[in-house]
């Protein structure tokens, strides 16, 4: 049946509701997939371990792109706030460059700066008077001047001489820390032998802030929680990816204890590949994809998750919209299941497949209910975004499919970088059913198996 003006308005509205964005737990579109009784809830584990700790704690949370990590952090924040805790949330990418190497001095200043800004924003400037950037700027100016005065032979090109010039010129430390590589490197060089002093400044700032907000709220036992999100996005580019990976590895292997904050429960979101390069170093709660199949040779369906994802889609479409566009009864369910199957249980791809279908109805086959060929074209269009796949990558991916584990040949940065790209781009999916396992995305299975059979191209 041809589209009516009302149909077109309905398609537009549903297209907008299928947008991929972090959802607050009270959003009408939020579906509590991870709180189902049949599976582990990583957020519940974070919350329990935080509340069972004493005055402070440090936890790691991870999730691959599009699995809903930030949405679930918002749920954690709501649950903690409902119990009277003060929860601060910061996006790490507002303070740190995602494309540059990270060291402990840069990380500490970024974390402290974010903590201070969010504390002032949440509790009010009257409760917390001091700004971290002003405090650390004063410390750096004072210290560099002292270094120059004690060592009058300090040359113009040294970090101390250059830094004091930048600082006296009114440099915006927050902006420079993220966007000025030359300044950042000078700062790192200058602080390399003053890490203890820097940590002392950070601790004093955080402790004073916590005490001030407790006093302002007349609650000496107020629990303060700090969520430092998006740090897993620090991954570099193709040109420096391996160096960035090594820098993140050094940060967590050598300086983990320095990332604790006094009187604060801190949760950092970290790259999932950290568990491969630092096995056993610390626990990471990782958000999996929704498991649509069991870990067996035939990939038998795990029906519970199919039901959940149908509920997600019906909520986005609305019951009337779903029946009008996809179809009623078993016929509609069969069509929806075709796209659900090809999503691999990955939220972002689930939304992309249905969104692409909506666009094709409007632009290619303007009739309702949707024709099966429209779904197949949507699958092809989304699949094409994953292609081409290099033959060498296909061989590794085929091994992952066979073994249901990362099949990581070694822990070298190059190998970690490739595996990280597989996971970040959803070529490989992380799943769990009491034990962790991996599989390749349904959209690329045929392509991978065909490519893996081809001989590798000869090196010239």
Concatenating the DSSP letter of every residue in 375-433 gives: HHHHHHHHHHTT----HHHHHHHHHHHHHSS-------HHHHHHHHHHHHTTSEEEEES
Residue 460 lies in a domain: no
Cβ within 8 Å of residue 151, ≥6 positions away? 160
Residue 190 lies in a domain: yes
Residue 274 shares a structural domain with residue 323:
no
Contact call for residues 174 and 93 (beta carbons, < 8 A) = no
Residue 259 shares a structural domain with residue 144:
yes
Q: Whole-model pTM?
A: 0.89
Concatenating the DSSP letter of every residue in 286-341 gives: EEPPP--B-SSTT--B-HHHHHHHHHHHHHHH-HHHHHHHT-SHHHHHHHHHHHHH
Evaluate if residue 153 carries a pLDDT over 60.
no
Residue 323 shares a structural domain with residue 193:
no
Mean pLDDT to the nearest integer, 224-243: 90
Residue 128 lies in a domain: yes
Contact call for residues 408 and 438 (beta carbons, < 8 A) = no
pLDDT classification of 427: cutoffs 50, 70, 90: very high
Contact call for residues 3 and 368 (beta carbons, < 8 A) = yes
Domain's final residue, options 384, 403, 432: 384
Longest dimension (CA), the chain: 85
Residue 276 lies in a domain: yes
Contact call for residues 116 and 256 (beta carbons, < 8 A) = no
Residue 380 shares a structural domain with residue 396:
no
Range from 141-155, 227-241, 255-269, 409-423 that averages highest in pLDDT: 255-269
**How far is residue 104's CA from residue 57's CA, in Å, rounded to a whole number?**
19
Q: Is the model more confident about 66 or about 150? A: 66
Domain's final residue, options 264, 287, 310: 287
**How far is residue 154's CA from residue 161's CA, in Å, rounded to a whole number?**
7
Residue 181 shares a structural domain with residue 211:
yes
Mean pLDDT lowest among 18-32, 156-170, 372-386, 411-425 = 156-170
Residue 26 lies in a domain: no
Domain's final residue, options 361, 384, 407: 384
Number of domains composing the chain: 3
**How far is residue 243's CA from residue 413's CA, in Å, rounded to a whole number?**
8
Residue 164 shares a structural domain with residue 143:
yes
Mean pLDDT lowest among 146-155, 267-276, 322-331, 370-379 = 146-155
Residue 334 shares a structural domain with residue 249:
no
Residue 205 shares a structural domain with residue 339:
no
The CA distances from residue 46 to 53, 57, 63, 265, in Å, are 11, 11, 14, 10
Q: What is the pLDDT of residues 320-340, one digit of tens each?
A: 999 999 999 999 999 999 999
Q: What is the pLDDT of residues 117-149, one digit of tens each?
A: 999 988 876 777 678 998 998 888 888 877 766
Helix axis angle, 391-403 relative to 413-424, nearest 10°? Answer: 80
Residue 257 shares a structural domain with residue 339:
no
Element (H, E) at 443: none
Contact call for residues 165 and 79 (beta carbons, < 8 A) = no
The CA distances from residue 421 to 86, 104, 233, in Å, are 36, 25, 12
Q: What is the pLDDT of residues 68-102, one digit of tens each?
A: 889 999 999 999 999 999 999 999 999 999 999 99
Residue 263 shares a structural domain with residue 318:
no
Residue 89 lies in a domain: yes
φ/ψ of 431, rounded to 5, equals -135, 165
Q: Which residues of 162-183 are buried (b: 16+ CB within 10 A; e: fewer)?
A: bbbebbeeebebbebbbebeeb
Mean pLDDT lowest among 186-195, 234-243, 396-405 = 234-243
Element (H, E) at 169: none
Residue 68 shares a structural domain with residue 175:
yes
Residue 459 lies in a domain: no
Mean pLDDT of the chain: 90
Q: What is the pLDDT of residues 20-47, one digit of tens each?
A: 888 888 888 888 888 877 677 889 999 9
Q: What is the pLDDT of residues 166-201, one digit of tens each?
A: 777 667 889 989 998 888 988 898 898 899 999 999
Domain that holds residue 412: 391-452
Residue 169 shares a structural domain with residue 224:
yes
Residue 457 lies in a domain: no
Evaluate if residue 460 carries a pLDDT over 80.
no
pLDDT at 169: 64
Contact call for residues 375 and 386 (beta carbons, < 8 A) = no
């Amino acid at each position: 049946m041809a589209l009516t003006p009302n149909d077109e308005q309905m398609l537009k509205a549903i297209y907008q509701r299928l947008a991929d964005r972090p959802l607050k737990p009270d959003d009408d579109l939020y579906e509590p997939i991870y709180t189902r009784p049949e599976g582990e809830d990583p957020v519940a584990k974070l919350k329990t371990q935080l509340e069972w700790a004493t005055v402070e704690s440090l936890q790691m949370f991870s999730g691959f792109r599009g699995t809903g990590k930030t949405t679930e952090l918002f749920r954690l924040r709501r649950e903690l706030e409902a119990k009277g805790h003060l929860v601060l949330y910061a996006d790490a990418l507002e303070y740190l460059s995602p494309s540059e190497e990270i060291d402990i001095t840069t990380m500490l200043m970024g974390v402290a700066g974010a903590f201070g800004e969010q504390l002032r924003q949440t509790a009010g400037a009257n409760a917390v008077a001091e700004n971290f950037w002003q405090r650390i700027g004063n410390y750096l100016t004072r210290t560099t001047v002292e270094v120059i005065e004690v060592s009058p032979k300090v040359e113009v090109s040294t970090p101390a001489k250059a830094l004091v010039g930048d600082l006296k010129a009114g440099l915006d430390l927050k902006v420079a820390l993220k966007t000025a590589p030359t300044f950042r490197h000078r700062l790192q060089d200058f602080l390399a032998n003053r890490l203890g002093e820097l940590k002392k400044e950070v601790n004093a700032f955080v402790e004073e802030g916590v005490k001030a907000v407790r006093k302002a709220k007349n609650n000496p036992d107020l629990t303060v929680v700090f969520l430092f999100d998006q740090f897993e996005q620090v991954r570099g580019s193709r040109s420096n990816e391996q160096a960035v990976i090594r820098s993140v590895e050094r940060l967590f292997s050598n300086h983990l204890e320095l990332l604790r904050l006094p009187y604060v429960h801190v949760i950092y979101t970290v790259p999932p590949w950290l568990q491969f390069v630092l096995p056993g170093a610390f626990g990471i709660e990782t958000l999996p994809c929704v498991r649509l199949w069991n870990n067996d040779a035939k990939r038998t369906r795990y029906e519970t998750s199919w039901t959940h994802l149908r509920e997600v889609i019906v909520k986005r479409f609305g019951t009337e919209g779903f029946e009008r566009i996809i179809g009623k009864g078993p016929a509609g369910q069969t069509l929806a299941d075709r796209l659900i199957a090809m999503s691999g249980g990955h939220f972002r791809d689930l939304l992309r497949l249905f969104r692409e279908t909506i666009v094709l109805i409007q632009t290619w086959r303007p009739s309702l209910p949707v024709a099966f060929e429209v779904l197949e074209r949507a699958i092809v269009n989304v699949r094409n975004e994953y292609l081409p796949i290099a033959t060498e990558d296909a061989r590794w991916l085929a091994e992952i499919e066979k073994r249901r584990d990362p099949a990581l040949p070694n822990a070298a940065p190059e190998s970690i970088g490739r595996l990280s790209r597989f996971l970040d781009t959803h070529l490989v999916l992380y799943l769990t059913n009491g034990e962790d396992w991996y599989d390749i995305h349904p959209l690329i299975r045929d392509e991978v198996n065909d490519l893996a059979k081809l001989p590798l191209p000869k090196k010239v």
